[in-house]
Amino acid sequence: MAIELFNNGTHLCLMFDDLIDDENNAAVQANQFLIVDNGHGALLDPGGNMTYNGLLMAMHNYFPPKRLEYILASHADPDIIASINKWMIHADCRVVISKLWARFVPHFCSGSNAEGRIEAIPDEGMNLKLGESIIKAVPAHFMHSEGNFQFYDPISKILFTGDMGASIVHHGEADTPVEDFRAHIQHMEGFHRRYMISNKICRYWVNMVRQLDVEMIVPQHGRPFKGKKMVNEFLNWIEHLPCGVDLMTQDNYRLP
């Protein structure tokens, strides 16, 4: 089901949360996103081969897939863009991704589908024109991927945070924004401690995000954080979480 995160008639943000069969627990739930501004469309983290058919069908009611201009990729993990070969064949879109992964994306593709169609984002980020709006590619390196971007939409004031803020929930729950932050921590904590790289980096990120006007944080897995109060609860939490290399010792590097 498509969830309308924002719609003012000319600018639309959609989330798809139930395209992965996570019933047997084999594949992690993931959200995909469509942003349309004045008839120009971009998919954000469209996912892997499991979601391709479902997303193609589901977005059809809102935007013709063939006319896609961009695929915006936070990084290069399989749940982010393993379907890229199919999208490159279906549409004339360009892939926008960190310069660190620009030469890795062609490995998803057969033949020369990706040739000349990958736009490398420099480490400092960029502003990308979509229709009459701008999408900001905001640096989020090492959260978790080394070359990592989040996408901020100044019209909806949504920050699409990729893995940051992700929660591991069943696909039936991902459409409901977090209501009780304390109760929600259990669905985030294990993931953030192991997949986020270091608390120093999280603090830099929080300092930066506090300068943005954010109405919603929408991660790529699990439930969104809606409203300034909930956004701040998340920022305050992650700012103090030790994670990744902070927690590693020589004990983690022993011969089996």
Which stretches of the chain bind a second copy, using CB under 8 A?
20, 24-28, 30, 47-52, 76-79, 82, 85, 100, 103-110, 114-115, 118, 123-127, 136-139, 141-142, 144, 146-147, 194-195, 197-198, 200-201, 204-205, 207-208, 211-212, 244-245, 248-250, 252-256
The CB density around residue 241, as the number of other CB atoms within 10 Å, is: 17
The answer for residues whose C-beta is within 8 angstroms of residue 46's C-beta and 6 or more apart is 32, 52, 55, 71, 81, 83, 84, 87
Cβ at position 15, least distance to a second copy in Å: 18
Q: How far is the CB of 180 from a second copy (least distance, A)?
A: 26
* Nearest one of 33, 58, 68 to 156, comparing CA atoms: 33
CB of 174 to a second copy, least distance (A): 15
Give the residue with the Cβ less far from a second copy, 180 or 251.
251
The answer to whether the CB of 183 falls within 8 A of the CB of 237 is no
Question: How many Å apart are CA 102 and CA 23, to the nearest integer?
Answer: 33
Identity of the amino acid at 211: Q
Half-sphere exposure of 228 (CA within 13 A, CB side): 4
Between 27 and 56, CB nearer to a second copy:
27
Q: Are 135 and 128 in contact (CB under 8 A)?
A: yes
- What is the rounded distance in angstroms from the CA atom of residue 17 to the CA atom of residue 31? 5
- State in angstroms the smallest separation of the CB of 158 from a second copy: 15
- Tokens for 17? 């949360």
- Closest to a second copy by CB, 61 vs 252, is 252
What is the smallest separation between the CB atom of 110 and a second copy, expressed in angstroms? 4
Between 229 and 254, CB nearer to a second copy: 254
> What is the C-alpha radius of gyration for the chain, rounded to an integer number of angstroms?
17
Contact 86, 52 (CB under 8 A): yes
Q: How far is the CB of 256 from a second copy (least distance, A)?
A: 4
* Closer by beta carbon to a second copy, 12 or else 65: 65
Cα(76)–Cα(45) distance, integer angstroms: 9
Pick 6 or 195: Cβ nearer a second copy: 195
